[in-house]
Each structure stands twice: as structure tokens, then as C-alpha cells.
């Protein structure tokens, strides 16, 4: 794979990891920092996949690329899409995964 193929997926995963960590930490759950990071990254990539596969999600995600002009607009849209997916799974993971102590 070349860098142009894998970069959108990396941006989605990083956006999801950041948002998953934030919401997982706010709810004081999610299996620690590593657990929240993994859950968020999976959620970010899943949101990107949903944005490619489902027309309704694709229409919403296309609005974020209009926030800035230039070549970085696609990366911003991927980052926001990943952050939303990571935030959703981070919130769910933070509420459902709790320590027993």
C-alpha cells in the first residue's frame, strides 16, 4: 500500500482515538488509556467505513470538507468523522466498561 491509500484510514483512527480517550475519561471508564485508545480508533475507522458505504452518512460527512479550502479539507473531514465515531464508541465503552474496584 502506498501512503495515499493508508493516510485517510490513519487520520480516521487518530481522530477516533483522541475523541474516544476524551469521552472515555469523562465517563471514568473504558478500560484505561489503552482500552479507550483502541476502542476510539476502531470507532473512527468504522465511522469512515460507514461514511463510504452509506449514502446518508456520506452526505453528512461531505459537509465537513467545506469548512476549509485547499488540499487539507479532506483530512479535516476524515479527522472529524473519525472523532465522531470514536466519541460514540468511547462514550459507550466508558459507560459499559467499568473497573470492579
Where do the domains of the chain lie?
Answer: 35-94
Looking at residue 83, its pLDDT comes to 93
Residue 9 CB neighbours (<10 A)? 17
Looking at residue 69, its pLDDT comes to 86
Looking at residue 72, its pLDDT comes to 86
Of 4, 8, 2, 24, which is closest to residue 80 (Cα–Cα)?
8
Distance between CA atoms of 96 and 76, rounded to whole angstroms? Answer: 30
Is the CB of residue 42 less than 8 Å from the CB of residue 100?
no
Write down the pTM of the prediction.
Answer: 0.85
Looking at residue 100, its pLDDT comes to 66
Of 3, 48, 52, 42, which is closest to residue 21 (Cα–Cα)?
42
Looking at residue 45, its pLDDT comes to 94
Taking the chain (101 residues) in runs of 10, the rounded mean pLDDT of each run is 86 92 82 85 92 88 84 88 90 78 62
92 contacts: CB under 8 Å, gap ≥ 6: none
Looking at residue 95, its pLDDT comes to 81
Looking at residue 101, its pLDDT comes to 62
Residue 97 is classified by DSSP as -
Amino acid at each position: 500500500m502506498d501512503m495515499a491509500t493508508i493516510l485517510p484510514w490513519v487520520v480516521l483512527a487518530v481522530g477516533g482515538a483522541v475523541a474516544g480517550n476524551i469521552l472515555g475519561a469523562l465517563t471514568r471508564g473504558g478500560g484505561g488509556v489503552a482500552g479507550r485508545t483502541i476502542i476510539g480508533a476502531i470507532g473512527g475507522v468504522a465511522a469512515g467505513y460507514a461514511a463510504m458505504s452509506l449514502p446518508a452518512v456520506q452526505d453528512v460527512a461531505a459537509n465537513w470538507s467545506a469548512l476549509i479550502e485547499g488540499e487539507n479539507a479532506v483530512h479535516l473531514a476524515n479527522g472529524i468523522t473519525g472523532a465522531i465515531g470514536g466519541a460514540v464508541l468511547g462514550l459507550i465503552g466508558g459507560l459499559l466498561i467499568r473497573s470492579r474496584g
